[in-house]
């Protein structure tokens, strides 16, 4: 999977909170931001492959 680079503007207070959380979880700040974004997208069913996986799972259950 390729990754896209981008610039993020974030308040110092928010960044300090992300840095603290990342350190608490033994992740880099970049890794923490990726995890946070992925979690929110997954929780709100906004990841394309997550939606497709859920549909396939429902079809498999219906077939049984």
Tokens of 49: 């492959």
User: Domain limits of the chain?
Assistant: 15-63
Q: Which residues contact 21 (CB under 8 A, 6 or more apart)?
A: 32
Tell me which DSSP letter residue 25 carries. T
pLDDT digits (tens, 9 = 90+) for 28-52: 999 999 999 999 999 999 988 754 5
Is pLDDT above 90 for 61? Answer: no
Provide DSSP, 28-51: -HHHHHHHHHHHHHHHTT--HHHH
Res 7: pLDDT: 96
pTM of the model: 0.70
Tell me which DSSP letter residue 47 carries. -
Per-residue pLDDT band for 26 (boundaries 50, 70, 90) equals: very high
């Amino acid at each position: 999977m390729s990754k896209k680079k981008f610039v993020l503007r974030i308040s110092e207070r928010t960044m300090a909170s992300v840095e603290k959380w990342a350190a608490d979880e033994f992740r880099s700040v970049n890794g923490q931001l990726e995890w946070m974004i992925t979690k929110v997208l997954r929780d709100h069913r906004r990841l394309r492959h997550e939606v497709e996986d859920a549909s396939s799972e429902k079809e498999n259950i219906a077939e049984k």
